Chains A and B, each alone.
Chain A
Amino acid sequence: MAEPAQSPAVDGRRLRSERTRRRIIEAYLALLSEDLRVPTSAQIAERAGYSVRSVFERFPDLLSLRIAATDHAFALGSAQAAVRNADGDRSTRIRSQVETRSRTCESWLPLWRALNANQGESAELKLRIRLARELIMKRLELMYRPELSVLDERARKHTLIALEALTDFESWARMRELYGLSIEQGCALWIRIVDRILPPTPAR
């Protein structure tokens, strides 16, 4: 039996509702990037151009909004950080990985900070943070596979942990906020230290 087609009115409503939802998420993210304080529902509603009631019709509470924003960022961040040059030479792989990672840090630092500050309140937030970290580790493993393959298991794990710490959001934030480095200078620093941390590339 054929599925009954949905009426255009229902489709239109759903589309509008989706759009409203997305604008609220974007308003939340925009406010976060301007001020580290967690935005209030009134601020979010005002920025999105809706009423507070509209916000709470889409999200039962601010935690749900935070989770939805995280998922939105995760999807966007993954799309922006497509794997490139995984088979390039050492310096190409390091540069490519550093550039991708720095873009992610530059775009999503405020959200990352908000998530970390509030992870105590929700297992779902914790799960998302863990997933993001796992993804970063997998990416590092993929990009530096030749160098990591020459290390024994313990040394490989230690190297990965060090690489992850050195190219963490807060490491990026410190370079940009505390030391006033430009994006290019920050990348140059990361390229240099990743190169030092990695063992020599084995001959093919």
Chain B
Amino acid sequence: MPASPGNVEIDGRRLRSERTRQYIIEAYLAVLRENPRVPTAVQIAERAGYSVRSLFERFPDLLALSLAAADHAFAQANAQAVIRSADADRATRIRTQVETRGRTCEQWLPLWRALTRNLHHSEELKVRVRRVREAVRLRLELMYRPELAAMEAVERQRTLIALEAITDFESWARMRETFTLSVEEAGAVWIRAIDRLLPPTPVS
């Protein structure tokens, strides 16, 4: 059945509204990357090229905007971090995992900081942060399956906690900001540490 003119109009409005929403999220992320302080509604609206009223028509408050940004980031990061080389040799797996994780940290650190800083304001934020942590953990389990499989349960859990700690956002941030390491050098620190934390790879 052909679409009626009314439906086309509604679809167009919906599309525009979606686009506006998307621009506001991107503006929020862009302002965050330039300045670690939580952006104000005025700054975000100005960057997006809309009025503050438009912003609050799409998001009831800035917390709702930060939740939407978190969902957007999660989807993007998942798409960027497709699993590669999970069946490769140890060195390749470590390097691949570090490169992927380094890129994620490099790109999403400002948002991560904004989210974790406001964690106590919202249960929904906590859910998002937990989801990210779970995804990181699952990825570690997958990439280092051969080495982890050789360990007993307690030791495996300890190793996973250590791997998570070393490849955390703030660990990356410290290397880049405090120690002013390049992306490559920071990656080398992680590669070295992970290689030492993992047990020998069992012979397949």
Contacts A37-B120, A155-B192; A166 near B178 (Cβ below 8 A): no
Bound CA span A157–B168, Å: 19
B111-134 vs A, Cβ < 8 Å mask (1 yes, 0 no): 000000101100000000000010
Bound CA span A194–B166, Å: 12
Q: Decide if A165 touches B158 in the complex (CB within 8 Å).
A: no
Asked if A141 is at the interface of the complex by the 8 Å CB criterion, the answer is no
Q: Decide if A120 touches B197 in the complex (CB within 8 Å).
A: no
Closest residue on chain A to residue B160 by CB atoms: A179
- B interface, size bucket: 20 to 34
Contacts A130-B178, A161-B175, A161-B189; A179 near B161 (Cβ below 8 A): yes
Q: Decide if B178 touches A193 in the complex (CB within 8 Å).
A: no
Q: Decide if A162 touches B189 in the complex (CB within 8 Å).
A: yes
Which residues of chain A are within 8 angstroms of B162 by Cβ–Cβ distance? 166, 189, 193
Which residues of chain B are within 8 angstroms of A179 by Cβ–Cβ distance? 157, 161
Closest CB in chain A relative to B182 CB, distance in Å: 13
A178-204 vs B, Cβ < 8 Å mask (1 yes, 0 no): 110000000001001100110000000
Closest CB in chain B relative to A195 CB, distance in Å: 10
Q: Give the contact stretch, choosing among A16-24, A98-106, A167-175.
A: A167-175
Contacts A193-B162, A193-B197; A171 near B192 (Cβ below 8 A): no
Q: Decide if B164 touches A120 in the complex (CB within 8 Å).
A: no
Which residues of chain A are within 8 angstroms of B133 by Cβ–Cβ distance? 178
Q: For residues 119 through 170 of chain B, which have their beta carbon under 8 Å from a beta carbon of chain A?
A: 119-120, 133, 157-159, 161-162, 164-166, 168, 170
Bound CA span A36–B37, Å: 18
Further contacts, 18 of them, CB under 8 A, given A168-B165, A179-B157? A36-B119, A36-B120, A133-B178, A158-B189, A158-B192, A159-B192, A162-B189, A162-B190, A162-B193, A165-B171, A165-B174, A165-B175, A166-B162, A168-B171, A171-B168, A174-B161, A174-B164, A197-B197
26 A–B contacts, CB within 8 A, in A order: A36-B119, A120-B35, A121-B37, A130-B178, A157-B179, A158-B189, A158-B192, A161-B175, A161-B179, A161-B189, A162-B166, A162-B189, A162-B190, A162-B193, A165-B165, A165-B168, A165-B171, A165-B193, A170-B165, A171-B168, A175-B161, A178-B133, A179-B161, A193-B158, A193-B159, A196-B196
